[in-house]
Structure 1
Amino acid sequence: MMKKILVIGSFMTDLVVKSARFCQEGETIIGETFNQFTGGKGANQAIAAARLGGNVEMLGELGNDAFGRDQINSLKANNVKNDNILFTDKAMSGIGNPQLDDSGKNRIVVIPGANLQFKPDDLEELVEVVQSADIIVLQLEIPIETVYRAIELGSKYHKVIILNPAPAQELDLRYASLVTYMTPNEHEAQLLTGIDTSSQEGVKESAEELLRQGYQNVLITLGEKGSYFVNKRVEIQVPSYEVKAIDTTAAGDSFIGAFAFGLANDESIQDSLSYASAVSAIAVTRMGAQPSLPTKAEVDTFLNQKVKVKA
């Protein structure tokens, strides 16, 4: 039976502006397109795993507004269990403002809103949901004390814990040893360790430092350079697939969701990383966060085409 993935995290409605290049200070430029998409690191990762066929539930908090209703509709449409999501009148649903240039690179401003209302006491009321899961996926767009409590509860009930430390911030290392998989990108790894990750050697040094901090397994996503995994026993480098990127907004989230899906199916670390690389490659060729996330059938087709090309 497939293991259950519980994503505890954020919802953001992405208001996406695309222009040929980014603005400079004091400059106004004419943009190309505007779109609105449901997103948020937590919701993106939940939907990424669910579209691949995962057994996924989401916990978090939304405002009583149109953005919140859109988020619930998106979860339902993608078979993510959402019965235990909370709503508040104290804040509006979270908003993100991704800005994209013609190369597909992005800059994102986030206004967390209702996400910051999801407190440890709320999680305590939902402890049975935590107990029902096998894998818990966390990010840092909800209050850090709620993330820490989720780690404590996950460890107490012997769950696999994936921590995606984004947006990056200083973390309490007392929780490090409780985290099964620490999954920063290269920029987050640099912030967390103080080690320059612009070179492959720097990436390895940063990953080793995260292991020294106490994390059990370290996975650093490297965008177009692939991913790097290390623990005390193995070291794995997985390349990315060569595609033309249009929008990298959900690249990391698609990778994490797919990696969790691989673990939920008892796949090896190597196979889970390779599969996640394919999922993120497809995601960056499409606009939007959640609209870019592929189904299992799409990933299978993509991989079959890649095999034929190599042959």
Structure 2
Amino acid sequence: MKKILIIGSFMTDLVVQTLKVPVEGETVIGKSFNRFTGGKGANQAVAAARLGGDVTMIGKLGEDDFGKEHIESLDKNNVNHQSVLFDSQTSSGVGNIQIDYNGNNRIVVVPGANLKLSERDIEKNENVIMDSDIIVLQLEIPMKTVYKSIDLANKHGKTIILNPAPAQLIKPEYRSKIDYFVPNETEASLLSNIEVNGLETAEQAAEILLEQGYKNVIITLGDKGVIFKNQDQFKYVEAHRVKAVDTTAAGDSFIGSFAYGLSKGMEIEQTLNIAVAASAITVTKLGAQPSLPEIKEVNEQLLVPQQ
């Protein structure tokens, strides 16, 4: 099994469930409040590890209670955290999440220590990159740090997965270094200038992203499924029909599970199927990391007939 390295963010999610998300100037009564460990990087690391992946994480936390909770979560989920760093001058990242009756969310993040993860930090951990096989990145850390990570991973011939979230333009010279580019439909719309609202427009957006230089493009489409496209292949996998409780971390579940499938040497279609099943399970539960499934749950979900 290949080794997975996640370079990315930590967030403590402060989650409010409400029947109705308030508009400007409005106050509503919430249904519940919870606190969960999250962040795109940490979620993806836990997602891959829960399925049985060999996972290491590089990121930065504040020296606070939230930071301690994140380390405890990585420990609990068998994610190697020896390369996680701490900043004594900055607090750990925090996200405020509002979830409505249909499980849809609105999120505001305060990145905190995530923005202190520097190019120098990555250089100091070049040996960790060398010892890994699959490098997974997102954009909740500084872009210069992302680029340094891509440079070093490319230098050592590693497989690179980039989840461009939150959406930002990627410098043209880096696009061909990325093996799998995985935006959601909103991110794909912004990066391709095609409004993605279904399969046809998703394929059009993927074609534009390929023309921009990416090798393999995967666009996640929420309850409409996912497409995969490169110069030779096009694949579509339908979403599983489930009742959504909280869509937080659905994309992270997909990314982490996709990395796991690659680490096991699975064919692309099998890897996509596992990732789609995992993300379907994730939306049926509240919270980011608490909702991420184990491999047994994913295998059971794959056996459920889809209509």
Q: Is the 2:52–2:295 Cα contact (8 Å) retained in structure 1?
A: yes
Please give the root-mean-square deviation of Cα atoms over the aligned residues, in Å.
1.0
Distance in 1, Cα, partners of 2:168 & 2:106: 17
TM-score, length-normalised on structure 1? 0.97
Deviations 1:103-137, CA, capped at 9 Å, x for gaps: 00011001000000000011000100000000000
Aligned to 1:34: 33
Counterpart position of 2:166: 167
Aligned to 1:266: 265
C-alpha separation in 2, matches of 1:98 and 1:229? 29
| Deviation, structure 1 residue 222 | 0.4
Instruction: Tell me the distance in 1 between the aligned counterparts of 2:263 and 2:46.
Output: 14
Q: Which region of structure 1 is more displaced relative to structure 2, 241-250 or 164-173?
A: 164-173
Equivalent-residue separation in structure 1 for 2:34 and 2:169 (angstroms): 33
2:120 corresponds in structure 1 to: 121
2:71 is aligned to 72
2:254 paired residue number = 255
Superposition pairs for residues 214-229 of structure 1, below 5 Å? 214-229=213-228
| Cα deviation, residue 22, structure 1 | 1.1
Q: 1:205: which partner in 2?
A: 204
Q: Secondary structure at the match of 2:5?
A: strand
Query: What aligned pairs does 1:1-311 form with structure 2 within 5 A after superposition?
Result: 2-304=1-303, 306-307=304-305
What amino acid maps onto 2:184 in structure 1? N
Of 200-209 and 154-163, more deviation after overlay is shown by 200-209
Question: How far does the alpha carbon of each residue in 1:251-302 deviate from its partner, in whole angstroms, 9 at most, with x for none?
Answer: 0000000000000000011100011110001000000000000101121222
- The TM-score with structure 2 as length reference comes to 0.98
- 1:198 Cα shift? 1.4
For the residues of structure 2 that align with 1:291 and 1:232, how far apart are their CA atoms? 37
CA distance in 1, matches of 2:293, 2:198: 30
Distance in 1 between residues matched to 2:231 and 2:192, nearest whole Å: 18
Matches of 1:94 and 1:167, distance apart in 2: 15
- After superposition, the C-alpha distances for 1:55-98 in whole angstroms (9 at most, x for unaligned) are 00000000000000000000000000001110001210000111
Shift of 1:303: 2.3
Q: State the alpha-carbon separation in 2 of the partners of residues 23 and 83 from structure 1.
A: 42
- Measured in 2, the distance between the counterparts of 1:165 and 1:186 equals 11
Task: Give the Å deviation of 1:233.
Answer: 0.6
Q: CA deviation at 1:192?
A: 0.8
Q: CA deviation at 1:199?
A: 3.1
Report the Cα distance in structure 1 between the residues aligned to 2:263 and 2:302, rounded to whole angstroms: 20
Q: Which amino acid aligns with 2:72?
A: N
Unaligned 5+ runs, structure 2 = none
Letter paired with 2:295: K
Aligned amino acid, residue 197 of structure 2: S
Structure 1 ranges of 4+ moved more than 2 A: 301-304
**What CA distance in whole angstroms lies between the structure 1 residues aligned with 2:239 and 2:52?**
23
CA distance in 2, matches of 1:112, 1:209: 31
Question: What SS does the aligned partner of 2:109 have?
Answer: strand
**SS of equivalent residue, structure 1 residue 15:** strand
Paired residues, what number? 307
Report the 3-state secondary structure (helix = DSSP H, G, I; strand = E; otherwise coil) of the residue aligned with 1:178: coil
